[in-house]
Amino acid sequence: MTETRPAAGLAISPALSDALDRWLDHQRALNGASANTVKAYQADVLGFLAFMTVHFGGPAGLGPVARIGVADMRSWMAHERGRDQSARSLARALSAVKGFYRWLSEREGYEPSAVLSTRAPRFQRKLPRPLSEAAAAEVIGTAALQARESWVAARDVAVMTLLYGCGLRISEALALTGADAALPPVLRIIGKGGKERLVPVLPAAQAAVADYARQCPYRPERGAPLFRGQRGGALNARAIQKVMEQTRMQLGLPATATPHALRHSFATHLLTAGGDLRAIQELLGHASLSTTQTYTSVDARRMMEVYDAAHPRA
């Protein structure tokens, strides 16, 4: 069970603390929230309760929380803006507060409309910046030149090929074990929140991983990490990020050319080639189609750039 530890100076009644713990456990167990997501929820709700403690001039408990009204929510929003909280972060915090309050109101008989009707600040969603097909290929080829040892170079190429060729998150690629050394035609991936999906594996990805496994000085063990650091331990994501940094500097690519950009490129190139949005959603492991739809905006932007450059009246 998650244990809520109030911030210094924040007094929360045992009943409210227990309720927050149970809600966080509910998010993890039933909604599949990751450990990082649960930690963010906890911090956001505790921050909200810290404000309400000062705002009401007394400890936060089930009674005071039940009396939160529209004016109180406005005061909290103004306070957060006043400390330079970004619109995106405030929207995330409000979402966590609403989730907790909705759950709590159902159990305690609160009238939740004052909290649930609070509007999140508008913010411009950042569009992913994919690489072109040529740039993605150059990145993988150039990454092979960064390491002094051939097996390390093969490892880096294998990881990046999985990001671009299969659309894996870097954490998913590094979670593969020795049992995956001979990649099957279809990979079973456990993604965010424990969500399982099946991902087709391109022959290029199979070949890259096989080449790495053949050169790696550490025998692939079924329960051990497939990708190893130079000393034999599990490969850290930071090592791949550093390779990407060196590669993009050599190729003159922008700072947005990150390992995660290879995953964005996978989705965008599929979409450009006529891939079905629902199918791409499944391949990426997105819980919501709206997340995947972000890539349609990317594709539309690229089409408009081509249109503006090629149209006779441009």
* Catalytic residue list contains 195: no
**pLDDT, tens only, 56-76:** 887 778 888 888 999 999 999
Which residue from 209, 111, 207, 119 is spatially nearest to 158, judged by alpha carbons? 209
Percent residues over pLDDT 90 in the chain? 39
Three-state DSSP at 2 gives coil
Question: Is 14-116 CATH 1.10.760?
Answer: no
pLDDT band at 312 (very low <50, low <70, confident <90, very high): low
Verify whether residue 260 is a known catalytic residue. yes
Q: Provide the pLDDT for residue 8.
A: 42
Return the DSSP state at 303. H
Whether 197 is catalytic: no
Q: What is the distance between the alpha carbons of residues 167 and 164, in angstroms, rounded to a whole number?
A: 5
Query: What distances in angstroms separate CA 271 from CA 262, 275, 297, one per listed residue?
Result: 14, 5, 11
Which among 28, 155, 248, 286 is annotated as catalytic? Answer: 286
**22, 88, 98, 192: the active-site residue:** 192
- For 80-128, the pLDDT digits (tens) are 988 888 888 888 899 999 999 999 999 888 888 989 999 888 766 666 6
Superfamily of domain 133-310: Intergrase catalytic core (1.10.443.10)
The single residue of 155, 263, 264, 269 carrying the catalytic annotation is: 263
Instruction: Let me know if 169 is a catalytic residue.
Output: yes
Q: What integer is the mean pLDDT of 237-260?
A: 91
Task: Exactly one of 28, 169, 264, 269 is catalytic; name it.
Answer: 169
pLDDT band at residue 218 under the 50/70/90 scheme: very high
263 is catalytic: yes
List the one residue out of 49, 270, 273, 313 whose CA is nearest residue 167.
270
Instruction: Give the closest residue to 93 by CA, choosing from 47, 136, 156.
Output: 47
What is the rounded CA–CA span in Å between residue 4 and residue 191? Answer: 26
The total of other beta-carbon atoms located within 10 Å of residue 202's CB is 15
Write down the number of H helices and E strands in the chain. 14, 2
Given this model, what pLDDT does residue 9 score? 47
Distance CA 176, CA 192 (A): 15
Q: Pseudo-torsion of CA 80, 82, 87, 90, nearest 10°?
A: 0
In this predicted structure, the answer to whether residue 186 has a pLDDT above a threshold of 60 is yes
- Which regions of the chain carry the CATH code 1.10.150? 14-116
Q: What residues does CATH 1.10.443.10 cover in the chain?
A: 133-310
Q: Does the reported pTM lie above 0.75?
A: no
Give the active site residue among 22, 26, 260, 302. Answer: 260
